Chain A
Amino acid sequence: MTSDLRASDTPLFRFKNSRVSLNELLLLDYDAVRLREDLASHAARLPSLFRQMPVVLNLEQLPAEQPVPPLDELLAICRESELNPIGLRGNNRYDEALCLSHGLACFGASARAERDSAEAKREPVTQSPARAEPGAQSAVSETAAAASNTKILTTPVRSGQQVYVPGGDLIVLSSVSAGAEVMADGNIHVYGPLRGRAMAGVNGNTDARIFCQSLEAELISIAGYFKACEDLQSAHWEQPAQAYLSGTRLDTAPL
């Protein structure tokens, strides 16, 4: 009877923001035989921990020059030791479609630099110089991969023009005119006056920022949080400035 009452007007679900603490399996190097043995010995020591523990496979620190481990093999080794891989980080090494076909979620690589440096502080003893080096190399290769999505414009973006850079940064070496729109999934740099609209982090990246030589914008927006011209005119107007998100507030600061 109660279920009848509920049926029509109450929603069946709602989305709720939640944070789950997850462990990452951070691969520093890959050797199938050794990995299988090491994981098995870990599992033997801590059977309660390994019982279907969800993990995110982190491949960011694998040496860049090494071939990518076969995904099937890697997953099989994890599952043998009763780990439950649920996602991948640093998956620009694998095709996204391949990950999805294995039921793995693709985690972004955001805030990687901060996390890496934090880890370096936490484990100064275990991290031998030999291991630190491949890590540094992979960081370089990731920068290069990100750079390939960057778009550089040397001419002014005129009124009525729209520029969108999917999955990367936009750099404008000239001005962005009033009535023009520049958008990027990453950051936006304007080395001239920004008079039009600028939208950074279009895909929801809240870490994206907007930098410009002279802030005269009609509107700036980061990950959907925006400020219009009227609210921008007080501080840093016509000054070199940057915009970033603090929580849900869009802030500007001088450069």
Chain B
Amino acid sequence: MAEIIVVTSGKGGVGKTTSSAAIGTGLALRGFKTVLVDFDVGLRNLDLIMGCERRVVFDLVNVINEEATLNQALIRDKRTEGLYILPASQTRDKDALTQDGVERVLNELSEMFDYIVCDSPAGIERGAHMALYFADTAIVVTNPEVSSVRDSDRILGVLQSKSRKAEQGEQVREHLLLTRYNPARVQAGEMLSVDDVRDILAIPLLGVIPESDAVLKASNQGQPVILDDQSDAGQAYQDAIARFLGEEREHRFLEVQRKGLFSRVFGRKG
């Protein structure tokens, strides 16, 4: 049985798809058979971030409607062994996602994989609900600003009340992933700090991903940023995966860059 992870946020544009791609790739790099499922029907992006948009023939909605088999729709990632992508349909909308259909697809995937990473669309409507309903674990992606934190809080409430686990009286495991973190702006008082966000959301912190040029570059190249070992964001995602798998890692990239650079230079000498 696979563990179903939903990457969700409520608010749009906070880095759900980037994080889904990084987390899926990170788990596969660790040797787990992993599938990335794009639930953003009608606004599919995951295939672009993963650089496989030209190989999409069938999609999630085709499989739900039994127009294609799962094996026909799954795209094998060429860079990372054991990683597959199930793209969303671009020509349909979220109403095409039926609960029975999604359950059937996830059950079938569950027998083939160790981890199923569901990339949720923004919002709290049908698409987001379907993405999180069957989740065992939720990774809540949040930017350090008030509206994103408020929306994350809302989605945590939905996870608590409207997920299958909640209906069975269990709890979905919750993790906070803080993205686009800019220590300089935090210091200037223009951004919420890690502690502010943790205080409001009160869930365990999986990682802090610094705001980084590497993310945009990686997205445009269709390559998950976690594969960029040299970038701070890539390293931060690797740390997050390690923590997800139960390892102890200290949080990095929380201080203003100059100090980080200094210690890195120092580290290389030693």
Binding site for B on A (CB under 8 A): 155-161, 174-175, 177-180, 193, 195
Contacts and interface: CB of A to CB of B under 8 A. Distances in A.
Interface residues of B, number: 13
Interface stretch (B20-28, B157-165, B183-191, B234-242): B157-165
Interface of B: 124, 150-151, 153-154, 156-158, 160-161, 199-200, 202
Contact of B153 (A158, A174, A193): A158
Contacts of A156: 156, 202
Contact of B156 (A158, A178, A195): A158
Nearest to B124: A160
Contacts of B158: 160
B202 A175 contact: yes
If over half of B's interface residues share one DSSP class (helix, strand or loop), that class is named, otherwise mixed; here it is helix
A160 B154 contact: yes
15 contacts: A156-B156, A158-B153, A158-B156, A158-B157, A159-B150, A159-B153, A159-B154, A160-B154, A160-B158, A161-B160, A161-B161, A177-B153, A178-B200, A193-B199, A195-B200
A156 B155 CA distance: 13
A160 B202 contact: no
If over half of A's interface residues share one DSSP class (helix, strand or loop), that class is named, otherwise mixed; here it is loop
A157 B202 CA distance: 11
Contacts of B161: 161
Contacts of A195: 200
Contacts of A155: 160
B160 A179 contact: no
A163 B90 CA distance: 39
Of the candidates A156, A157, A174, A179, the one having the most CB atoms from chain B within 10 angstroms of its own CB is: A156
A179 B202 contact: no
Of the candidates A159, A174, A175, A195, the one having the most CB atoms from chain B within 10 angstroms of its own CB is: A159
Contacts of B154: 158-160, 179
Given A158-B153, A177-B153, A178-B153, 16 more contacts: A155-B160, A156-B202, A157-B157, A158-B156, A159-B150, A159-B151, A159-B154, A159-B157, A160-B124, A160-B153, A160-B154, A175-B202, A178-B200, A179-B154, A193-B199, A195-B200
A178 B150 contact: yes
Contact of A174 (B150, B151, B157, B202): B202
A158 B151 CA distance: 10
Of the candidates A157, A158, A177, A178, the one having the most CB atoms from chain B within 10 angstroms of its own CB is: A158
A175 B156 CA distance: 13
Contacts of A175: 200, 202
Nearest to A155: B160
A157 B161 CA distance: 11
Contact of A180 (B151, B157, B199, B202): B157
Nearest to A196: B153
